């Protein structure tokens, strides 16, 4: 609590009473702590790849360059760390854009199935590299109210995770399901490592990872689901997760239905 006092004075400045104001600053303190934690996390996340970039470059300059095998190995590490830095910066910029108060959705009525099919072209490649079968299950042609670019971003983040946290030879399915008069659902299901029940509420926090090492190996930034959560909220939608360790995970985003195709809602 923040406390301030003021005297109440009667005639001839005689003290008649005191006004004490208690100001509840719990929420403010919480916000301040979140801001500080975020800055600390960003600094740490940026520092790790930069340290390794400097280290490997110095080693190359100190003579490792003469060994052609070592040179290729170190240059590949430098390339991967640079890519990690690039993803992190991209995700940070994206999150900061989405979190701005005046961030708005460009409302349209869109076919989720069409967006899924367009997005799949980008994602198939990632799945193939890991020998994961990526399939669209029979889907509804129903229309959702939303921003196609943002919906594509949500699909990319969820499917990229599904591929990252599923061992080779596994399956990832996407499906659009009609949910009655008002809602339409986008589901992403995998046969991956799963998430324990106590971790599920935390995975949407910025930089939270169940397994840091595994996330880093997959090139994860720890921001993908935080971005998805914000985008779902901006769409007035909801996101549900169900998971079983060793069996797989299902994410489902519920959108509001749109009435007609193509119209832009202001
Ligand atoms: P990251 O870049 O680490 O993947 P995200 O914000 O996208 O960050 O996800 C946060 C964490 O949630 C991940 O590090 C991972 O532990 C867990 N996670 C997300 N999606 C899945 C999934 N499909 N299966 C298992 N774990 C997942």
Q: What is the ipTM of this complex?
A: 0.98
Quickly state the pLDDT bin for 11 (edges 50, 70, 90): confident
How remote is the CA of residue 220 from the centroid of ligand 1, in Å?
8
Convert the pLDDT of each residue in 16-60 to its tens digit: 899 999 888 888 888 888 888 888 999 999 998 999 999 999 999
**What is the distance between the alpha carbons of residues 243 and 190, in angstroms, rounded to a whole number?**
9
Residue 265 predicted with pLDDT over 70: no
Residue 208 confidence (pLDDT): 92
**Ligand 1 center to residue 71 CA distance, Å?**
33
* Position 235 confidence tier, pLDDT thresholds 50, 70, 90: very high
Angle, in degrees to the nearest 10, between helices 224-234 and 148-164: 150
Q: What is the pLDDT of residue 218?
A: 81
210-227 pLDDT tens trace: 998 888 888 889 999 999
Question: How many A from CA of 266 to the centre of ligand 1?
Answer: 34
- Please state the atom number of ligand 1 nearest to the C-alpha of residue 211: 16
User: What pLDDT, on a 0 to 100 scale, did the predictor assign at position 98?
Assistant: 92
Residues 6+ apart with CB under 8 A from 28: none
Q: Which two tokens stand for residue 91?
A: 């995700």
Distance (Å) from CA 161 to ligand 1 centroid: 6
| ∠ CA 162-168-171, rounded to 5° | 50
Ligand 1 close to Cβ of residue 225 (< 6 A): yes
Euclidean distance between CA atoms 73 and 78, whole angstroms: 9
Average pLDDT of the segment spanning 88-92: 94
Decide if 116 contacts 136 (C-beta within 8 A). Answer: yes
Average pLDDT, the chain: 93
Give residue 157's pLDDT.
Answer: 97
Q: pLDDT band for 261, please (50, 70, 90 cuts).
A: low
Question: Which two tokens mark 31?
Answer: 């916000």
> What is the DSSP code (8-state) at residue 265?
P
% of the chain beyond a pLDDT of 70: 98
Using the mean position of ligand 1's atoms as its centre, give its distance from the Cα of residue 253 in Å.
Answer: 16
Report the nearest atom of ligand 1 relative to the CA of 222. Answer: 8
Which of 85, 89, 195 has the most ligand 1 atoms within 8 A of CB, as the residue to mutate? 195
Q: How far is CA 121 from CA 118, 143, 152, 218, 258, in A?
A: 6, 21, 12, 20, 25
Mean pLDDT of 165-180: 97
Which residues share a beta bridge with 18?
A: 7
Ligand 1 atom with minimal separation from the 221 CA? 2
In ligand 1, the atom with minimum distance to the C-alpha of 208 is 10
**Residue 197: CA atoms inside 13 Å, Cβ hemisphere, count?**
0
Q: Are 56 and 73 in contact (CB under 8 A)?
A: no
Core vs surface per residue 85-123: b (16+ CB within 10 A) or e: beebeebbebbeebeeeeeebeebbbbbbebbeebbeeb
What are the E-state strand segments in the chain?
A: 2-9, 15-23, 108-111, 133-136, 143-146, 171-179, 183-190, 238-244, 248-256
Q: Give 263's pLDDT tier (boundaries 50, 70, 90).
A: low
């Amino acid at each position: 609590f923040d406390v301030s006092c003021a005297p109440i004075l009667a005639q001839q400045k005689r003290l008649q009473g005191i006004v004490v104001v208690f100001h509840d600053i719990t929420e403010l303190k919480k916000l301040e702590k979140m801001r500080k934690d975020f800055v600390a996390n960003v600094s740490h996340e940026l520092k790790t790849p930069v340290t390794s970039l400097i280290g490997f470059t110095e080693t190359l300059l100190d003579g490792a360059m003469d060994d052609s095998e070592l040179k290729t190995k170190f240059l590949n590490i430098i390339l991967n760390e640079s890519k990690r830095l690039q993803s992190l910066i991209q995700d940070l910029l994206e999150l900061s854009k989405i979190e701005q108060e005046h961030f708005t959705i460009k409302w349209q009525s869109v076919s989720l199935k069409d967006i899924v099919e367009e997005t799949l072209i980008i994602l198939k490649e990632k799945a193939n590299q890991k020998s994961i079968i990526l399939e669209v299950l029979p889907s509804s042609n129903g229309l959702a109210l939303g921003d196609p670019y943002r919906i594509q971003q949500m699909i990319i983040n969820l499917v990229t995770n599904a591929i990252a946290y599923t061992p080779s030879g596994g399956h990832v399915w996407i499906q659009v399901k009609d949910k009655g008069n008002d809602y339409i659902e986008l589901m992403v299901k995998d046969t991956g490592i799963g998430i324990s029940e106590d971790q599920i509420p935390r995975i949407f926090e910025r930089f939270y990872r169940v397994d840091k090492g595994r996330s880093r190996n997959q090139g994860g930034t720890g921001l993908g689901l935080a971005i998805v959560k914000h985008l779902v909220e901006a769409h007035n939608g909801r996101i549900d997760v169900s998971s079983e360790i060793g069996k797989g995970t299902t994410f489902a985003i519920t959108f509001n239905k749109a009435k007609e195709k193509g119209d832009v809602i202001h």
